[in-house]
């Protein structure tokens, strides 16, 4: 019964799959590494892309691209009121938007993470800390600190 019904049912129309891309974004120096999270899309339609030590934002509504940060020569605060100078070519290894607000976490190879808030345009929104795993998937996000 079911197979007869399947044989005589109308066939699905084939979907048209475009052969040309809708939009192409140029991303030179995008690292090809499975373990990196270099692209993330926010709930407010902003694409963040990490290229080397820089993070760029692409607004899909206005088609505007801006440099958020260049962490090549970042000076990071550390606990004893000292500053740790991070000089070199270490790259951004992770970008992650929170689902509940416009906060972007940016992680580097040397296990430092910076949080940027897009709403009042505070850069950085929170101080740099030595972090192993940021988790921004709920309103109560947590951070695992390295000892």
Residue pLDDT, tens place only, 51-73: 988 889 999 999 999 998 887 76
**pLDDT of 104 over the 80 cut:** yes
| Any domain includes 67 | yes
142 pLDDT band, cuts 50/70/90, is: very low
State yes or no: pLDDT of 100 exceeds 50: yes
24 domain residue, yes or no: no
Q: CA 110 to CA 132: how far, in whole Å?
A: 10
Query: What value does the mean pLDDT take over residues 110-138?
Result: 54
Specify if 4 maps to a domain: no
Rounded to whole angstroms, how far apart are CA atoms 83 and 99? Answer: 31
Query: Is residue 130 included in any domain, yes or no?
Result: yes
pLDDT tens profile 7-48: 888 877 888 888 998 888 888 878 888 888 899 999 889 999
In a domain, 16, yes or no: no
| Total number of domains constituting the chain | 1
Structural domain span for residue 51: 29-145
Asked if the structure places residue 94 within a domain, the reply is yes
The verdict on residue 5 lying in a domain is: no
Please, are residues 126 and 99 in contact by the beta-carbon 8 Å criterion? no
């Amino acid at each position: 019964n079911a197979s007869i019904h399947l044989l005589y049912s109308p066939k699905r129309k084939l979907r048209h799959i475009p052969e040309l891309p809708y939009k192409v974004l140029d991303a030179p120096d995008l690292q090809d590494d499975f373990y990196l999270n270099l692209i993330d899309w926010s709930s407010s339609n902003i694409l963040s892309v990490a290229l080397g030590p820089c993070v760029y934002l692409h607004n899909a509504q206005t088609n505007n691209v801006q440099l958020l940060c260049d962490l090549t020569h970042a000076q990071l605060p550390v606990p004893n009121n000292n500053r740790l100078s991070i000089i070199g070519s270490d790259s951004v290894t992770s970008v992650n938007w929170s689902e509940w607000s416009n906060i972007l976490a940016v992680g580097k190879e040397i296990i430092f993470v910076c949080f940027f808030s897009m709403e009042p345009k505070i850069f950085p929104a929170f101080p740099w800390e030595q972090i192993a795993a940021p988790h921004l998937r709920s309103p109560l996000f947590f951070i695992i600190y390295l000892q």
